[in-house]
Amino acid sequence: MPYREKMIEKLYYSIGEAAEMLDVPVSTVRFWENEFDILKPMKNKKGNRMFTPSDIKNLKIIHHLLKKEGMTLSGVKKKLSGKWEETDYKFEINESLQKIKSMLLDIRDNI
């Protein structure tokens, strides 16, 4: 199996880095920040948004619900306000399965 470097996890990510991770425009991340109460990025002295890894995870959950599952903004708000733990748990399972799938495809391609 080829060597893979471990991804570096930063303490804070800029809004540009967050948008790049999700493959969405920066304006979309700003819009989601205004729409969803679970997104509370810190701001530095210049006013730049600094997203923590938990903020990035929340952004990924919102992105998944909106883009992959095709939910509306009001539907996502309703889902996150009522059953946050369940949504978070399902997202974690989905992420784990995607990593396993990627690893298995990589193994298959290298055989």
What pLDDT does residue 19 have?
Answer: 92
Q: Using one digit for the tens of pLDDT, what is the confidence trace for 13-42?
A: 999 999 998 999 999 999 998 888 888 888
Q: What percent of the chain has pLDDT over 90?
A: 22
What's the total number of domains in the chain? 1
88 within domain boundaries: yes
For residue 85, the enclosing domain spans 13-110
CATH number at residue 70: 1.10.1660.10
Q: CA-CA-CA-CA torsion for 54, 8, 92, 102, nearest 10 degrees?
A: 150
Entry field: residues in the chain: 111
40 within domain boundaries: yes
Confidence of residue 65 (pLDDT cuts 50, 70, 90): confident
4 within domain boundaries: no
